[in-house]
Structure 1
Amino acid sequence: MKLNESTAVTTTRALLVPYESRHVPTYHQWMEDPAIQAATASERLTLEEEYENQQSWRVSHDKLTFIICQPLSPSSSSSPSSSTVQAGEVDIPEKMIGDINLFLYPNDEEDAPEDECVGEVDIMIASAEHRGKGLGRAVVGGFLQYISRNLEGILREYYEGGSKQNGGNNGGKGGETVKMKMLMAKINKDNVKSIKLFKALGFEQEGEVNYFGEVKLVLRDLEGYARGNVPEGYQEVVYQREE
């Protein structure tokens, strides 16, 4: 999505920055790991294909992506109290940890309104040294806060992008935008830690394990969750690039 192309999200636990071409080489290294490929159900891509993906994701109307980085240091020029962070400083390869994404698509449930979509959240902590420390929960919590505060803009871009792809009629949907029914996460039934993470954030299991061995966890009251769970130090700041 274009919505977050100049926005970073900072908390005391992590920094989220928009996915840039500068991040691709490190991202590609992560995805060379067979274990990460299996965990994310991803195919191995060439570096050139990863660059193409990054460019595509930046303008995609139905995919919102942030790169997870180490939290800001009080002693850096981009301090936690600053209104800007400097690209190429706060997100160098040594500070990159993983990524987090929101996917939007039409609600395919029977009798669902035409103007309704669902959002799917997924997270990857690629850096092994940062796993098992509660970081995933903190990052998803910050991401949910961002989605809640920017939901109107997210849904507007999703609607307008879909409308352009369908000749201006958004696939037959009425109105001027869409509504998001719920957020969900689809997690392999054996990934106990991730299931526990999302349940700790208020997601509840819906149904049984599906054909692909996944558990579906849903959060229906995003606004209520975000209102009562503002991450420590949460701030949306300008992601400033070199002129």
Structure 2
Amino acid sequence: MLLNATTAISTSTILLVPYSKRHVLKYHEWMKDEEIQQATASEPLTLEEEYSMQQSWRQDADKLTFIACLPLSSSTSSSETVALSDQDDAPDRMIGDTNLFLRLDDDDDNDNDNDDDNNDEEEKSVIGELELMIAETRNQGKGYGRAALLTFLWYVVTHEREILDEFLRSTATNSNKRLKCLSVKIGKDNTRSLALFESLGFEKRASETNYFGEFELRRYGLDVDAVGRLADVYGLKGYREVQYNE
């Protein structure tokens, strides 16, 4: 997606930057790990294919991606103008990624109990599927996943209309559709991720897993105020969008 091509997001506990060419080599090393391949349902790619994939993700209007990095120095005041350096998202500061994949909803069941009966179903026809990865074991269990997810959600709900507009222009679909919900699919044995998403209000659609052994969880009605309250609960502070130059 082009929307975030020049935007990084800084908070007290994480830095998100657009997935750029400089990140591909480290990302490629991550994706050689069989556990990561299994967790992300990914096939190993050659380095050349990985560079092509990075360009595809940048151009494709149905994919929004950030690389998660260690946070900026805590000495930076929230009132200061931040200028990122090449070192802020250097390979040794990269820890994972966050993704949003958009699709038109062809599921005609009305599974949102909070919807009014007279709501126009035509307006609830885009679903955003989330993915989150903290790649290396040494960085897991330290709160980076929650920080990256909350920061990413904050960006998504802040820019929901712009995200949808870029996506819908690519589908030749009318532009009055809105985001029905956010969704995530998690393997039944990934108890840490299940607990993370459930702590942010995502709920399982069914008590049984799908054919692939995954639970699908969904979150409806997420807006800036709701994300702000969650950020307060979990100590995420200082959200700000920063100019990013490749």
TM-score, scaled relative to structure 1: 0.88
Report the Cα offset of residue 55 of structure 1. 0.4
- Equivalent in the alignment of 1:167: none
- 1:167-218 per-residue CA deviation (whole Å, 9 max, x = no partner) reads xxx2xx33x3421100011000111110000001111111131111110111
* CA distance 1:198–1:93, shift in 2 (3 Å): same
Q: Distance in 2 between matches of 1:183 and 1:33?
A: 28
Amino acid at match of 2:41: A
Aligned residues: 229
* In the alignment, structure 1 residue 125 sits paired with structure 2 residue 134: yes
1:71-220 mapped onto 2 (5 Å cutoff)? 71-74=71-74, 81-110=79-108, 113-114=121-122, 116-162=125-171, 170=172, 173-174=173-174, 176-207=175-206, 208-220=208-220
Residues 80/54 of structure 1: CA separation in 2 closer, same or farther (3 Å cut): farther
Structure 2 portions without partners, runs of 5+: 111-120
Name the CA shift for 1:55/1:87 in 2 (closer, same or farther; >3 Å). Answer: farther
CA distance in 1, matches of 2:228, 2:14: 20
Shift of 1:82: 4.1
- Counterparts of 2:238 and 2:228, CA distance in 1: 15
Evaluate the alpha carbon distance shift between residue 17 and residue 85 of structure 1 in structure 2; reply closer, same or farther with a 3 A threshold.
Answer: farther
> SS at the partner of 1:32?
coil
RMSD: 1.8
What secondary structure, in the 3-state scheme, does the structure 2 residue paired with 1:109 have?
coil
TM, length-normalised to structure 2:
0.87
Q: Deviations over 1:102-148 (max 9, x none)?
A: 00001121268455110011101012211012221121111111101
Q: Percent identity?
A: 47
* Uncovered stretches (5+) of structure 1, i.e. residues with no partner: 163-169
Structure 2 counterpart of 1:139, one-letter code: A
Q: What does residue 165 of structure 1 align with?
A: none
1:66 partner letter: F
Q: Single out whichever of 1-10 and 84-93 deviates more from structure 2.
A: 84-93
